[in-house]
């Protein structure tokens, strides 16, 4: 079971150090991937945490002010990197061709991309969610070999459920997870979108889920610990 912790743009250095101390109290055999904002990646010192990033440049090193390249991430120990999160698609106007470039650069550095896909509420209401997901997968994975496709992780996050407290039904989630796995056999698929300690007992009934991408819950170690224990029980 993979648990990716997306801290987003939160915490100061002092708060991050305190946060890490609380995380280290959690005992689990699951794979925990900690994805803080880039300035705190070098502060990760927990032997139980895999090192992740929230984003990467779609270019390599060079005259690109403010960017962080895949080779730079690798040099500080990053093993996983989130790409294509809906917040970046929305606020930074990130397009699928950029995400595709990022995926290729990460794979070249042997960093596992966690590629986010998901539909808007309007897509769901119009029954277009399957078309949206397949289109994103096709474009984000364009020109990758079959072997390279096996090295990525897909995170299904219905955009309308992120941070809203809304959650699709288990049947709706399972339908998309199975769609992704049919398109990408042997690929791990995570679920994200208001997963928390209160709804995990229902979510864990979906056997095809390989893990979770957590946003708000990632910042609350005590509740995260409850979440992880409920998965195992």
Looking at residue 98, what is its pLDDT?
98
**Spatial CB neighbours of 193, under 8 Å, sequence gap ≥ 6:** 118, 156, 157, 158, 161, 162, 166, 167, 168
For the chain, what is the radius of gyration of the CA atoms? Answer: 17
Burial class (CB in 10 A: 0-12, 13-18, 19+), 38: middle
Residues 6, 54: contact at Cβ < 8 Å? yes
**18 Cβ partners below 8 Å, 6+ apart?**
none
Sign, CA torsion 76/72/3/164:
positive
Give residue limits of the domains in the chain.
2-232
- Is a pLDDT exceeding 80 seen at residue 3? yes
How many residues does this entry show for the chain? 233
Provide the pLDDT for residue 77.
96
Do 104 and 83 form a contact (C-beta atoms < 8 A)?
no
Is residue 157 annotated as part of the catalytic site, yes or no? yes
Q: What pTM value is reported for the model?
A: 0.96
pLDDT tens, residue by residue, 199-224: 999 999 999 999 999 999 999 999 99
Rounded mean pLDDT of the chain? 96
Give yes or no for residue 139 having a pLDDT over 90.
Answer: yes
Residue 8 is predicted with a pLDDT of 97
Can you tell me the mean pLDDT for 42-65? 94
Give residue 233's pLDDT band: very low, low, confident or very high (50, 70, 90).
Answer: confident
| Cα separation, 96 vs 141, whole angstroms | 9
Q: What is the pLDDT of residue 225?
A: 98
Whole-number percent of the chain with pLDDT over 70: 100
Specify whether 93 is catalytic. no
pLDDT digits (tens, 9 = 90+) for 66-102: 999 999 999 999 999 999 999 999 999 999 999 999 9
- Residue 50 is predicted with a pLDDT of 97
CATH of domain 2-232: 3.20.20.70
194 with 164: CB under 8 angstroms? yes
3-class SS at 181? helix
Catalytic residue among 85, 87, 94, 98: 85
Q: What is the pLDDT of residue 162?
A: 82
pLDDT, tens digit (0-9, with 9 covering 90-100), for 102-122: 999 999 999 999 999 999 999
Residue with the bigger pLDDT between 16 and 47: it is 16
- CA dist 84 and 197 (Å) reads 25
Residue 165 above 80 pLDDT? no
| pLDDT of residue 151 exceeding 80 | yes
The active-site residue, picked from 50, 87, 94, 157, is 157
């Amino acid at each position: 079971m993979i648990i990716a912790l997306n801290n987003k743009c939160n915490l100061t250095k002092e708060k991050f150090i305190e946060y890490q101390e609380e995380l280290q109290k959690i005992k689990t055999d699951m794979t925990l991937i900690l994805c803080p904002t880039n300035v705190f990646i070098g502060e990760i010192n927990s032997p139980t945490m895999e090192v992740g990033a929230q984003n990467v440049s779609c270019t390599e090193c060079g005259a690109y002010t403010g960017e962080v390249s895949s080779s730079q991430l690798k040099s500080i120990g990053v093993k996983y990197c989130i790409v294509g999160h809906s917040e970046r698609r929305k606020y930074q106007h990130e397009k699928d061709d950029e995400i595709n470039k990022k995926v290729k650069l990460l794979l070249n550095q042997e960093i596992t991309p966690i590629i986010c896909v998901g539909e808007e509420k309007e897509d769901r209401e119009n029954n277009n969610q399957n078309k949206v997901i397949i289109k994103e997968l096709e474009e984000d994975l364009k020109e990758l070999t079959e072997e390279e496709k096996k090295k990525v992780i897909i995170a299904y996050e219905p955009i309308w459920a992120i941070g809203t407290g809304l959650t699709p039904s288990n049947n709706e989630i399972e339908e998309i997870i199975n769609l992704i796995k049919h398109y990408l056999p042997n690929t791990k698929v995570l679920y994200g979108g208001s997963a928390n300690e209160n709804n995990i007992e229902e979510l864990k009934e979906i056997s095809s889920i390989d893990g979770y991408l957590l946003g708000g819950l990632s910042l609350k170690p005590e509740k995260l610990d409850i979440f992880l224990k409920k998965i195992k029980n």
